[in-house]
């Protein structure tokens, strides 16, 4: 089998030890699993999110989107109204979920390369008193842009709104304290910056919110309240079959995050990767989509070369043959490709990638 490094925003390259942690079968009724792994994970992710004791966590089977859908569908009732800030594919996905679930929602649609302006958000809140919840993406993986959750959190607090953040591609890779940021609900998944393998997501939520959300869910299997009640009442038991191997691997990934020095150290590594990547790519003639000050350490979009001999599939294959997998672009109005630097990826790997890119510029 041809081994390659994933330079993609999830699934991503994981350590050998995380992969090895999956080589055991677990019983979902056993305390070894529920107490020592599931409950430990629930506590650890809450501790990563904040030093406050106001939060709890719920793990949910499925990809990250399932957890977003679970949170929206289980926490926003018929009497609520959701404001969605959309500046990319994942903001748009929140709007799609709201549509499927028939939520009462309004969308602030922005350009994908546009940083959301808190003044526009505040105007929406002033215009529409019915709004009770605000949802936005932290790192918009479409472009790699880091959205201003801090400013929007201040507004959420000031106007007394529940603030929901899709921090899928940033949680564990960018330091934050959700209590200080006035975030009430944060959603992420196993296979992004914590560096686990795909199979479940999680929601970190204020205890007072989840306690008061019984009966809202529109889906049986994605009922966040029931999942939380079961985990609380039965020492970490999931309602339906949990992805045991994935959960055990995630536990190992959390230990490795601690060993690396926590989120602060991981952020530093990702940031160094990203800066090395951008400098090297620019030296090879590539131009990043966003201005440098809007970059995140997670993923970077580059304009595709304008030379007519360039073709993404050929470029992708040339890099893959040299052991690197990159990502197609997702921006609707610009021809781009993306390179992620999260996962078990180090400066050395980025240097080797840059050499591979240099050898792959067949269009020159």
Kindly indicate which of the ranges 29-37, 162-170, 279-287, 345-353 contains the residues binding ligand PLP, using the contact rule CB under 6 A. Answer: 162-170
Question: Taking the complex as a whole, how short is the minimal distance between the CB of residue 67 and ligand PLP, in angstroms?
Answer: 8
Kindly indicate which of the ranges 45-53, 58-66, 226-234, 253-261 contains the residues binding ligand PLP, using the contact rule CB under 6 A. Answer: 58-66
Question: Taking the complex as a whole, how short is the minimal distance between the CB of residue 2 and ligand PLP, in angstroms?
Answer: 24
| Cα separation, 247 vs 322, whole angstroms | 32
Q: Position of tokens 């306690």?
A: 211
Kindly indicate which of the ranges 95-103, 128-136, 163-171, 240-248 contains the residues binding ligand PLP, using the contact rule CB under 6 A. Answer: 163-171
For ligand PLP, the binding residue among 169, 213, 274, 304 (CB under 6 A) is 169
Per rule CB under 6 A, is residue 65 in the interface with ligand PLP? Answer: yes
Q: Binders of ligand PLP: how many residues, by CB under 6 A?
A: 12
For ligand PLP, the binding residue among 14, 57, 74, 141 (CB under 6 A) is 141
Cα dihedral: 226, 231, 234, 239 (round 10): 50
**Cα angle for residues 220, 226, 231 (degrees, 5° grid):** 130
Question: Taking the complex as a whole, how short is the minimal distance between the CB of residue 105 and ligand PLP, in angstroms?
Answer: 17
| Cα separation, 294 vs 310, whole angstroms | 27
For ligand PLP, the binding residue among 8, 14, 34, 189 (CB under 6 A) is 189
Q: Which is nearer to ligand PLP, 166 or 349 (CB)?
A: 166
Kindly indicate which of the ranges 16-24, 155-163, 166-174, 256-264 contains the residues binding ligand PLP, using the contact rule CB under 6 A. Answer: 166-174
Q: Position of tokens 């921090």?
A: 167
Q: Which is nearer to ligand PLP, 62 or 236 (CB)?
A: 62
Per rule CB under 6 A, is residue 59 in the interface with ligand PLP? Answer: no
Kindly indicate which of the ranges 63-71, 72-80, 226-234, 318-326 contains the residues binding ligand PLP, using the contact rule CB under 6 A. Answer: 63-71
* Window 195-254: residues binding ligand PLP (CB under 6 A): none
Cis status, amide bond into 315, omega within 30 of 0: no
For ligand PLP, the binding residue among 48, 137, 190, 231 (CB under 6 A) is 137
Per rule CB under 6 A, is residue 147 in the interface with ligand PLP? Answer: no
Question: Taking the complex as a whole, how short is the minimal distance between the CB of residue 252 and ligand PLP, in angstroms?
Answer: 20
Per rule CB under 6 A, is residue 163 in the interface with ligand PLP? Answer: no
Question: Taking the complex as a whole, how short is the minimal distance between the CB of residue 71 and ligand PLP, in angstroms?
Answer: 11
For ligand PLP, the binding residue among 5, 6, 7, 10 (CB under 6 A) is 10
Per rule CB under 6 A, is residue 64 in the interface with ligand PLP? Answer: yes
| Cα separation, 166 vs 149, whole angstroms | 10
Q: Rounded to whole angstroms, what are the CA distances from 175 to 146, 152, 171, 217, 253?
A: 13, 17, 8, 31, 17
Q: Nearest residue to ligand PLP, using CB?
A: 64
| Interface map 85-104 toward ligand PLP (x if CB under 6 A) | -----x--------------
Residues within the interface to ligand PLP (CB under 6 A): 9-10, 63-65, 90, 137, 141, 166, 168-169, 189
């Amino acid at each position: 089998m041809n081994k390659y490094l994933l330079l993609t925003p999830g699934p991503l390259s994981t350590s050998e030890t995380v992969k090895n942690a999956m080589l055991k079968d677990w019983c979902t009724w056993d305390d070894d699993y529920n107490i020592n792994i599931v409950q430990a994970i629930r506590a650890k992710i809450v501790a990563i999110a904040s030093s406050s004791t106001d939060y709890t966590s719920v793990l949910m089977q499925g990809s990250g989107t399932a957890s977003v859908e679970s949170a929206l569908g289980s926490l926003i009732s018929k009497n609520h109204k959701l404001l969605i800030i959309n500046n990319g594919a994942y903001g748009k996905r929140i709007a799609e979920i709201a549509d499927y679930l028939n939520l009462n929602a309004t969308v602030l649609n922005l350009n994908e390369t546009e940083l959301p302006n808190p003044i526009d958000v505040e105007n929406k809140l002033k215009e529409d008193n019915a709004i009770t919840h605000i949802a936005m993406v932290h790192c918009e993986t479409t472009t790699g842009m880091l959205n201003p959750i801090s400013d929007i959190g201040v507004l959420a607090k000031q106007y007394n709104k529940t603030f929901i953040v899709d921090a899928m591609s940033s949680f564990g890779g960018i330091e934050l304290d959700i209590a200080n940021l006035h975030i009430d609900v944060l959603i992420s998944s196993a296979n992004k910056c914590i560096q686990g393998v795909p199979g479940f997501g999680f929601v970190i939520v204020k205890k007072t919110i989840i306690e008061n959300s019984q009966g809202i869910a529109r889906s049986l299997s994605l009922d966040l309240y029931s999942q939380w009640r079961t985990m609380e009442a039965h020492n970490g038991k999931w309602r339906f079959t949990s992805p045991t191997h994935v959960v055990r691997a995630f536990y190992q990934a959390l230990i490795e995050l601690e060993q690396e020095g926590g989120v602060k150290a991981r952020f530093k590594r990702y940031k160094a990767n990203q800066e090395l990547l951008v400098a090297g790519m620019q030296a090879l003639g590539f131009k990043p989509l966003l201005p440098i000050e809007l970059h995140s350490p997670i993923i970077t979009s580059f304009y595709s070369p304008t030379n007519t001999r360039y073709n993404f599939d050929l470029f992708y294959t040339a890099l893959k043959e040299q052991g690197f997998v990159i990502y197609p672009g997702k921006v609707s109005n610009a021809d781009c490709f993306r390179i992620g630097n999260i996962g078990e990826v180090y400066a050395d790997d980025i240097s080797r990638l840059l050499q591979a890119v240099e050898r792959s510029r067949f269009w020159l």
